[in-house]
Amino acid sequence: MSEKFDVIVIGAGPAGYVAAIRAAQLGLKTACVDAFVGKDGKQALGGTCLNVGCIPSKALLDSSKQYYNIAHNLPVHGITVEGAKVDLGTFIGRKDKIVKQFTGGIGQLFKANKVTAFFGKGKLLKGNDVEITGNDGSKQTISATNVILASGSVPIELPFAKFDNKFIVDNAGALDFTEVPKRLGVIGAGVIGLELGSVWKRLGSDVTVLEALPDFLSVADADIAKIAAKEFAKMGLNIKLGAKLTKAEIKGNEVALTYEDKDGAHELTVDKLLVAVGRRAYTDGLLAADTGVKLDERGRIVVDEHNHTGVNGVWAIGDAVRGPMLAHKGSEEGVAVAEWIAGKAGHINLDTVPWVIYTEPEIAWAGKTEKQLKDEGVPYKVGTFPFAAIGRAVAMNEAIGQVKMLAHAETDRILGVHMVGPGVSELIAECVVAMEFKGSSEDLARIVHAHPTLSEAVHEAALSVDKRAIHKGN
């Protein structure tokens, strides 16, 4: 007889492992099945985010920022450092150590919460059994009342630029270069292209980013994207818009690219090519043919607003389902589903999920862009405030960017907040809280913000919605 659980989670990324821990906290007998193999060939919990995504990219972004600042920021403070060098082994090694610390930490959390971890590929069978195939080919079947599918996503591969993981790489490859590429090509000026492109640019690569769309960062508010584009250009990221890659050929130790833009075809030769053109839901081998779980036209598992698949006891969360492909979105879905399974009132509001791009300057937003409000015919007011007028930002020599707040023209309810500038990855949290509580710009305008802090930019942007910012003309 197969071992029986209350809940089996397939996938131990930020969606799955959080769902498993919350389910166990609620007294449910829980198992989590994951197939991810770490750099050392052993099971590594944490999925994309902890192994080859959020955490390692932020580790490299931080290390590269320290190095970049030596030449580009410290001299303004009267500090000069001669002969600064990067030891890439230590640089990558630090990242690997952080990854290990966090992936290992999940194993400990599983033990502490009595989640049983299985290592192998899980397949949902009809009737909520899960077949697990180990790396050695061995098979076992476990069963549960509820199964949560959290199989995540994988990079999209271009047919004419297939990953060889030496010269043409995905995110995992670009986190593990053994030397700084002299010339790095990046396909896609999206989140990964900008973050990882920044890492290698700061270490000295000549980075060219080819973006197929004519507009830069069209998911963000246009004003914010415009400021960011200017800063990235100053930093030396060469971003070519409306540029479609048509061919990538590995020739010796180089990659020869052909791309087309409005002026015709162009050639470009690089030492490494990072392809970051988006990710697709990963469901390969996840579902037996007769489970009844449906996929949509983009291969995502179809779920309702409670992340239920419509098949009794089968739920799905994270990158494998609709909504933004963000770790915190998947984690919150995981908590909500565990609570729904336990008969409690779970909650997830996709309208207030914050986005953060960890470049320099950082970009962050929550809610609607100005264009979305215009397209939807929603009447709105705009308040903005530049970091150039924020004492703390100037003291930090990081007085770049602005906070832009959009509020309903009649009710004053905050509909969107968009930021580019120092520390905005943290500032956005205040706005998400306000939006979640259906707050108004007036609410934020009346809250005391410490001086001198970066958060004063949020305060002043809220005041500016009503044309009463203090430290700028209205």
- Specify the residue, 33 or 348, whose C-beta has the smaller distance to ligand FAD: 33
What is the DSSP annotation of 124-173? EETTTEEEEE-TTS-EEEEEEEEEEE---EEEPPBTTB---SSSEE-HHH
- Specify the residue, 195 or 271, whose C-beta has the smaller distance to ligand NAD: 195
**Residue 325 makes contact with ligand FAD by CB under 6 A:** yes
Q: Taken in order 443, 449, 455, 456, is the CA torsion positive or negative? A: positive
Q: Which two tokens stand for residue 97?
A: 């150590």
Closest CA to 248 of 182, 186, 181: 186
Q: What is the C-alpha to C-alpha distance for residues 2 and 130, in angstroms, rounded to an integer?
A: 10
Contact residues for 194 (Cβ-Cβ < 8 A; gap 6+): 209, 217, 232, 237, 357, 359
Which of ligand FAD, ligand NAD, none is residue 189 near (CB under 5 to 8 Å by kind)?
ligand NAD
**Is 85 known as a binding-site position?**
no
At 330, which helix (H) or strand (E)?
helix 327-341
DSSP code of residue 40: T
Q: What is the C-alpha to C-alpha distance for residues 357 and 314, in angstroms, rounded to an integer?
A: 33
Q: Which two tokens stand for residue 444?
A: 């934020």
At 130, which helix (H) or strand (E)?
strand 129-133
Q: Measured over all CA atoms, what is the biggest interatomic distance in the chain, rounded to whole angstroms?
A: 74
Taking contact as CB under 6 A, which single stretch among the options 66-74, 317-325, 403-411, 428-436 is the one that binds ligand FAD?
Answer: 317-325
- Specify the residue, 383 or 423, whose C-beta has the smaller distance to ligand FAD: 423
Q: What is the C-alpha to C-alpha distance for residues 407 and 63, in angstroms, rounded to an integer?
A: 38
**Is 191 known as a binding-site position?**
yes
Which of ligand NAD, ligand FAD, none is residue 15 near (CB under 5 to 8 Å by kind)?
ligand FAD
**Is 195 known as a binding-site position?**
yes
CB atoms within 10 A of CB 66: 13
**Is 188 known as a binding-site position?**
yes
**Unique residue bearing structure tokens 């959020």:** 54
| Minimum distance of ligand NAD from residue 163's CB (angstroms) | 13
Which of ligand FAD, ligand NAD, none is residue 244 near (CB under 5 to 8 Å by kind)?
ligand NAD
At 82, which helix (H) or strand (E)?
none
Which of ligand FAD, ligand NAD, none is residue 98 near (CB under 5 to 8 Å by kind)?
none
Which of ligand FAD, ligand NAD, none is residue 212 near (CB under 5 to 8 Å by kind)?
ligand NAD
Closest CA to 235 of 71, 368, 459, 413: 71
Q: What is the C-alpha to C-alpha distance for residues 150 and 30, in angstroms, rounded to an integer?
A: 14
**Is 104 known as a binding-site position?**
no
- Specify the residue, 276 or 317, whose C-beta has the smaller distance to ligand NAD: 276
Closest CA to 92 of 173, 12, 182, 154: 173
| Minimum distance of ligand NAD from residue 368's CB (angstroms) | 18
Q: What is the C-alpha to C-alpha distance for residues 273 and 244, in angstroms, rounded to an integer?
A: 14
Residues 173, 188, 193, 318: which binds ligand FAD (CB under 6 A)? 318
Q: Known catalytic residues?
A: 451
CB atoms within 10 A of CB 432: 18
Which of ligand FAD, ligand NAD, none is residue 268 near (CB under 5 to 8 Å by kind)?
none
Closest CA to 197 of 166, 238, 153: 238
Q: What is the C-alpha to C-alpha distance for residues 144 and 228, in angstroms, rounded to an integer?
A: 48
- Specify the residue, 122 or 185, whose C-beta has the smaller distance to ligand FAD: 122
Q: Which residues bind ligand NAD (CB under 6 A)?
A: 158, 187-193, 195, 210-213, 244-245, 276-279, 324-326, 356-358
Contact residues for 9 (Cβ-Cβ < 8 A; gap 6+): 16, 17, 19, 20, 23, 30, 31, 32, 33, 147, 148, 150, 334
**Is 243 known as a binding-site position?**
no
- Specify the residue, 263 or 290, whose C-beta has the smaller distance to ligand NAD: 263
Q: Which two tokens stand for residue 399?
A: 């007085």
Which of ligand FAD, ligand NAD, none is residue 193 near (CB under 5 to 8 Å by kind)?
ligand NAD
Which 35-64 positions form the footprint of ligand FAD (CB under 6 A)?
35-36, 47-49, 53-54, 57
**Is 328 known as a binding-site position?**
yes
Cα end-to-end span (Å), the chain = 72
Taking contact as CB under 6 A, which single stretch among the options 10-18, 256-264, 300-308, 335-343 is the one that binds ligand FAD?
Answer: 10-18
- Specify the residue, 37 or 88, whose C-beta has the smaller distance to ligand FAD: 37
- Specify the residue, 15 or 270, whose C-beta has the smaller distance to ligand FAD: 15
**Is 381 known as a binding-site position?**
no
| Minimum distance of ligand FAD from residue 134's CB (angstroms) | 11
**Residue 190 makes contact with ligand FAD by CB under 6 A:** no
Which of ligand FAD, ligand NAD, none is residue 24 near (CB under 5 to 8 Å by kind)?
none
What string marks each residue from 92 to 131 as x (binds ligand FAD by CB under 6 A) or -?
Answer: -----------------------------xx---------
**Which residue ranges make up the annotated binding site for FAD?**
58, 122, 319, 325-328
Q: Which residues are annotated as a binding site?
A: 58, 122, 188-195, 211, 278, 319, 325-328
Residues that bind ligand FAD (CB under 6 A): 10-16, 33-36, 47-49, 53-54, 57, 121-122, 150-153, 171, 192, 282, 285-286, 318-320, 325-328, 330
